[in-house]
Each structure stands twice: as C-alpha cells, then as structure tokens.
Amino acid sequence: MVYPGDGDTVDTAVQDLGDSVRVQTILPDSQVDSFSYEFEGAIPVARADGGVDLVRAAAAPGGHFKTIVAALDAPWAIDANGDDVRTAYQIAGQTVTQKVFVTSETAYPVVADPKMTFGVGIYLSLNTLEVRVLALAVNSMATVSAAAGCVVLSERIKVAQAVPWVKYACGAVGFNPLMNTLKALPSRVAADYTASCYQARVPPTQPAWKVVGSSQCVPLNQSWTW
C-alpha cells in the first residue's frame, strides 16, 4: 500500500510480510533528508548493529525483563543510481528518526527501507548477586533436553524464589535461547562480576552481555537471591 506525500512530506509504501512490515520511504529531493516514527507505549533502544528495539516493561517476577515488542533492522538507503547512501537512526524520547546523509553526488529519488519485525524477544537484566548465582548454575549443568532444561536450571540455582523467574524466562523465549544467552556470560567465576547491573538481549546481539545502569536491575534486597 502506498501513502503519497503532500509535497512537503515523503511518499511511503508499506508491505505486510506477516510477522514484519517493510516501510519504503521515498525522498524526492534535497528538501527532505529525514523522517520520523513515534511509538506510543514502547521505548526505543539503540542496538550496536545500528538497529533499534522497541521495548516495554514486562509483568514478570522481580522486574528482570523488558519485552521487545518490535525491532527495526539496521537502516539502509539507496539513490536513483543504486548507490548506497549513508543513513542512521536518531532517538529522542519515543521518536525514532531516520536521517539520510546526502551529498552533491546523490541522485534522487532516494529510497530508505526500514523493516520492522514484531514479537522479537526480551531484555534480561541481572544484578550482581543474580548474575553470580546464574553463572555458577550454568557452569554446573551438563547437556540437558529442552523439555527438562527449565526444571534442571531451577534445581541448579537452589533458590526457591528463582523458580517463577525461570518459568517466566523459559516461557518468554524458550529454554535453548535462554541457555545460549546464559552460556555467553563472560565468566563462570562469581567474583568476576563486580558491576551493579548486567543486561543481555534474547536472542543475543554482540556483545551478548553489557554493563548497564543500576536502574535497569532490581535492588539487591528485592532480588530472588535475597
């Protein structure tokens, strides 16, 4: 479906791909070099690959999860000659703007093609105590089937309050993706984790884990390790 501009705005073609949509935006001339999307009810989070995740807090045990309700692929743009044009997303509040960096050699029209995929996964945040407990639990696990994996992981953690957390995580993304993310923890030595909060994306990006601000994790005295 094509949504024509009014002369001051860009033309937009939307293609439904089932679990995703492709939005082709056509910049007719040098008067327009950016266009924006505002997302209500979700917070845009920049990814290292240039894409953007749209996240919202999940009603999950302990507040450890943010649901990725949709994800924007890394942006691209090409001009009328088929040459790549540099482009990037810029985030301000709940608005994502795709900026296209044209030059004197850019041939118009320019087509920018953000693709949005829905229901992607979760962000998992662990405070210092939680990441230490999980690192030790993963280190003690042998190969296990997906069917039994969530039960075994709960047993290895040896903290009763963690059972709802494990059930939620397994239900949200499945045991294998969860375990692959936990196995990507940079160390199995608990003492190596000294930051207040660690976060990973499931399914993972690179690097799989990063240190984030303490506000992204629950306080130690509200943790399931307490």
Give pLDDT tens digits for 34-66. 888 888 888 999 998 999 999 987 766 666 788
How many Å separate Cα 126 from the centre of its chain?
16
**Residue 6 shares a structural domain with residue 117:** yes
* pTM > 0.95: yes or no: no
CA distance 85 to 98: 12
Least confident of 79-83, 98-102, 174-178: 174-178
Q: Is the pLDDT of residue 12 over 70?
A: no
Query: pLDDT tens for residues 121-138?
Result: 889 889 988 888 888 888
Q: What angle do CA 107, 30, 99 make, to 5 degrees?
A: 95
Tell me the pLDDT band of 3, cut-offs 50, 70 and 90: very low
Query: Which structural domain, as residue segments, surrounds residue 9?
Result: 2-121
**pLDDT score, position 67:** 87
In the listed set 69, 97, 121, which residue is the last one of a domain according to the structure? 121
> How many Cβ atoms are within 10 Å of 87's Cβ, its own excluded?
22
Task: Label residues 23-58 b or e (16+ Cβ within 10 Å = b).
Answer: bbbbbeeeebbebebebeebebbebeeebbbbbeeb
Number of H helices, E strands in the chain: 4, 14
In the listed set 66, 98, 121, which residue is the last one of a domain according to the structure? 121
**Residue 145 shares a structural domain with residue 60:** no
**Residue 93 shares a structural domain with residue 161:** no
